[in-house]
Structure 1
Amino acid sequence: MRYVAGNCLWTAQTTIPKQYSYLTTDLQTEVVIVGGGLAGAITAYQFAKAGIQTVLVERTIIGYLSTRASTSILQYEIDTNMVQLQSMYGIDAAVRSFQLCFDAVSDLEKVIQTLDDDCEFSRSPCLYYSPKKNDVRWLEREFNLRRKHGFPVEWIQSEQDNERFSFPIAGGILSTDGAGTVNPYRLTHALLREAEKAGAKIYENTDIDKIYDEPSNGQTKVTTQHGFHITAKKIVICTGYEAKNLIRGQRLGSLARTFNIVTKPYPEVPGWYDRCIIRDTDEPYTYVRSTNDQRIIIGGEDVNAGGVSSKISNLDDEDPLVEQQYNRLLAKLQELFPQLQVQPSDIEFQYHALFNNTKDGLPFIGQVDYYPNCYFNLGYGSNGILSVLTGSKLLLDLYQGKKSPDLDLFHFQR
């Protein structure tokens, strides 16, 4: 599969901060983490900072798969609305799922304060809106349910807010807290630097060939492609979509390819209130964020990928579909902010990547019976960063003998 293609903003702006060696010997540790993207990095950080002997292995270069293509919009809102989650799992589970994401924004801010890099973290309001009058009724239901359960929301309509927004809004929910943005590539490396200071060992270009789970002696062993072994009490799988190969008889989600374009810096953008995160209600939806250097990132135009061998899963940059999706994003950007008069020459980065959706928008975190010494921290869906942060805390508690009831929200049997 071609996970990422194009010129990604985050890695174009940042040279590789550190090259880690590949594994050349057998090791014994308490916990081995498989996956060196943001999910693995934040999990390694949590375990190492707790004083647990930790080894992380990445099959390619640290942070160079899905992480570098992440838009890194941090928001408590889940792709599946609270009203929909309530109908699926009940109101308590729906509210708790939203609350965990809300709390994770503050948790991430606290984590970043312990690092040697601010990782361009910034809080931001978030607008969830529709230009269609037919959507107003259900959006109002969603707004009222969130407000009832204490989330900081404001109802928005363009006839009342034409000074704040330059595009038509039939109805919208402006969340004044619980959202933000970050640079995912810098965050990944900063987390691993801190984990390494706490004693973690990190290896890249180290592919795991096989997992041996031995419940009789309470240990697991992984073997690399070159035949080296890592023996541990627990293994934590943080490999995103690739983890599907370990899960038996269950479809974990569906693959899609999303597209992003990034403009030159615009210090002033008329009609963009507080440079807030923007997400519409279309299917697939469009999302917009700002960067610290005042660029605009707009993404979406997702295409279902099907299987791993499909054309979309292996999409080449030269395929006409790629240019078509980029052009559609540019047209949407021009509609949102007409006064900017953005031209094709103003687009400085464009890229596309695969991601995994779940039927309920929630991640998979926890264990499966047939791998008793393995944990999984799979941040599927649009809230991946916040999900894996939550997952890292839940799995650390589980390792330390404190199983949280929140794990029931993210189990594999749902």
Structure 2
Amino acid sequence: MVAERLTRQGLDVVIIDRELPGRGSTAASTSMLLWEIDQPLRHLSEACGFERAARVYRASLEAVAGLKSRVAELGIVCGMRDKNSLYLAANEISADLMEEHRWRMRAGLPGEFLDHGRLRDGFGIVRAAAIVSSGAADADPVQLAHGMLEAAIGRGARLFEAEAVAFEAAGRMVNVRLGDNREIEARSVILATGYVMPDIVQSSVHAVSSSWAIATVPQPQSVWNDGTLIWEDAKDYLYARTTRAGRIIIGGEDSSAIIEPEARDRLISEKSGILARRLAALWPVAKTDIEFRWAGTFGTTQDGLPLVGPVPGAKGIYAAYGYGGNGITFSFLAARLIGDLIAGKTSPLLHDFAIDRDGSMAGR
């Protein structure tokens, strides 16, 4: 997405990827394009003030809309579908969700509060309450990534399968050394390497976590209410969506203690069973036979906001990390912010997303 944005601005772009594009976390994504972020608006407002929190939420809503428009403009075939999102109470008390709904209404965000009865009647889900909101989407993440890459290459971007191992800012240029001792000299360098951050980027709020997911066999009956995207009002929330073929994808069981790929993947079988049982509890009519199962690792932050902007002490180097559960949405927003920075523009969001911000929201 960064490469697509920069080539759109007429810049000469080189893309370095140590893996084939679309591998790694992209292939593991469940691709729920939510504008709601991991930190509830009520908590974010308490921590940094309502205006700043509302600004972030509105920017995220605009990012999903902007991404959908860009996909349509470029003609990317990735199964992009407009969706509503259903934010579920994680316990038997609806007061927290009612408060969240009031904060969202104050910010001018879309959404409708559903009490227990309306939620049960409309979705077949038995929880205390939920907020249903418009403006979300889902898509095939690998096709989306390849479509963005093809657009960038079509404008002249060059792709190299290599590993960047060192960065040195010197004067007006940045030297990037590759693992085979080749070097690239550029006016600007953007680091967007998923959950693996190079040593040049230091953040006190960044953390790494793993998540597990399953996809069921196609359901024999229609899925809930047009396949609305589902997630919970909880720190390590359960999340679910559907596919065009009628499968249910459900994920969660997140853990920051298990991030090494081999250890993470050894738990796929155990976590799959847990997710199948949680699906049965969430939507009792589901056929829970598992057709696919997988795991992925991602970067997140203590305050739920991404790390986007200049790398402190490294002139000409920018970074985009810590997307949490909003990987694709924040990727699009990061591409816009960094593209504007390189063009000489700025945004108050860069303060909110600053790489060297402190952990004042830790523990929320």
Q: TM over 0.5: same fold?
A: yes
- 2:145 equivalent to 1:188: yes
Partners of 1:254 and 1:91 lie apart in 2 by 25
1:130 to 71, 80, 89: 89
Partner of 2:361: none
Q: Does structure 2 retain, via aligned residues, the 8 Å contact 1:220–1:234?
A: yes
**Equivalence map 1:11-410=2 (5 Å):** 42-130=1-89, 132-134=91-93, 136-175=94-133, 177-204=134-161, 206-214=162-170, 217-248=171-202, 250-266=203-219, 268-269=221-222, 272-305=224-257, 312-316=259-263, 319=266, 321-342=267-288, 346-410=289-353
RMSD over aligned Cα atoms: 1.7
Partners of 1:152 and 1:284 lie apart in 2 by 24
Q: Does structure 1 retain, via aligned residues, the 8 Å contact 2:215–2:290?
A: yes
Partners of 1:91 and 1:318 lie apart in 2 by 40
The aligned amino acid for 1:294 is: G
SS at match of 1:383: helix
Q: Residues 131 and 62 (structure 1 numbering): CA distance in 2 closer, same or farther, change over 3 Å?
A: closer
Structure 2 unaligned spans of 5+: 358-364
- CA drift of 1:316 comes to 4.1
- CA drift of 1:328 comes to 0.6
SS at match of 1:246: coil
Partners of 1:340 and 1:219 lie apart in 2 by 56
**Percent sequence identity over aligned pairs:** 30
Partners of 1:117 and 1:368 lie apart in 2 by 32
The Cα offsets for residues 3-34 of structure 1, whole Å up to 9 and x where unpaired, read as xxxxxxxxxxxxxxxxxxxxxxxxxxxxxxxx
- CA drift of 1:59 comes to 0.7
The aligned amino acid for 2:213 is: N
The aligned amino acid for 2:341 is: L
The Cα offsets for residues 194-253 of structure 1, whole Å up to 9 and x where unpaired, read as 11111111112x111211111xx21001111111111000000001222252224x3342
Partners of 1:303 and 1:77 lie apart in 2 by 21
Q: Residues 229 and 84 (structure 1 numbering): CA distance in 2 closer, same or farther, change over 3 Å?
A: same
Q: Residues 172 and 112 (structure 1 numbering): CA distance in 2 closer, same or farther, change over 3 Å?
A: same
SS at match of 1:48: helix
Structure 1 unaligned spans of 5+: 1-41, 306-310
Partners of 1:341 and 1:188 lie apart in 2 by 31
- CA drift of 1:257 comes to 1.2
TM-score by length of 2: 0.93
Number of aligned residues: 357
SS at match of 1:63: coil
Q: Residues 220 and 263 (structure 1 numbering): CA distance in 2 closer, same or farther, change over 3 Å?
A: same
Per mean C-alpha deviation after superposition, the further-off stretch among 252-261 and 43-52 is 252-261
- CA drift of 1:317 comes to 6.9
